[in-house]
A and B are shown apart, each in its own frame.
Chain A
């Protein structure tokens, strides 16, 4: 603890959206304004935290000054801060998109009234989860996120959305409870719950059980292949900004926790690691096929999330048990790339649906109105998701394959290539429709709505492309505070 009077940024990063959520809930009429202010000020706090981390390495806050096993510490190292920054960045643009999407003429007052508190609570949970160093605290954060996310899923109030939301709720409660049981086993064996305790622990049967339970819960929450059943419905039926948040950010939390836990509590068996990779490969194939068959644009985008999660798990698997640091980083990079690009893509898909009036892929090229900018955005984010240079997705995939080649894991390279080809195939279904604009010889229709709504996803998509060029500094930043393989 320093004697200098300094503002404790990690705490503020969690508390600011919380305060915003309460204000937005108490004053429903001003919800949008208050919400935007809260998101922006949270982003400012994150920026300050980034600077602090750059200047002095990992930032640790001992809440209540009790210290780790008894109290709870917040810790912002490179990886956490990077994900916080990702959340803040995506959050700002999704908020801007939502401002338009839920504008008074498009959505009822109810939607507007509830979107902002729920989204800010979600942001609280996300930030809290990224900063947490205590597995029980992670459980609570997962529940904050889950409830807010379910709320966002059913925002439209339509029947399909409610049904998908209920399915999502079951999956996410069960995932959280598996995690809780794992926490119970950890306490049984170790008598403490902080990350430092996990790292210091000797292997024991109870810990193996704990790892198995927690990983099962996280896999369910992150929708790895056979456990993905809830995802497409939930993500495809939510309103566009909500889908962007769900697909871009919410799924990432469980991936992030998974990344952390497998660092601190290595999987007991190489076989399990390979199994996870195999499931990832299956997700790539199955998700790809489903995306090829999807009839609606948003459903296609949702299935593409399943594919991308599979890819991230392939990256995990490639790490083997000795934590080849390169591939953890590849996974983190892919998480980042997917968050930015998928948020942009969902927002763009939402814009297309708004303007054209439907999102049947087959008929997209027959509309009178051409939402050019949204289509352009969609194409840009597809580039990142497919993994073409210079996008961030490319950088992630490249690291993955480079590592795999170095270790001689050729089968993972083959899987990655097949996944790439599949994603080219299903995205080209949409993009081809965009290009064949002259099927109806009508003048290009006028734009409805506000330029900001197109600008927000466009900026996101552009940054997904552009960040690929900055992959090296991002990787360097990620390593601040040694998140990979060393004690915190």
Chain B
């Protein structure tokens, strides 16, 4: 029961971070700020959700897969953030020149 409540709290917190991420995406002034808001938010939101679902998971196989998913999302989110930032920086560089 306590485990359930803990899981629920974690998941709800994760959802809150998603909401925050969206708000950041909508409200922040330029691309890099938005990127900042987004990667923080979906990194944390995803992490918390994963943690919560792990607590609810039934078997070791499921836990392993959830962790794998978390790892994959985190890695791809990081690399994508990097690539987009690079893209944006280069784009602004060419404009300034």
Contact present between A and B (CB < 8 A): no
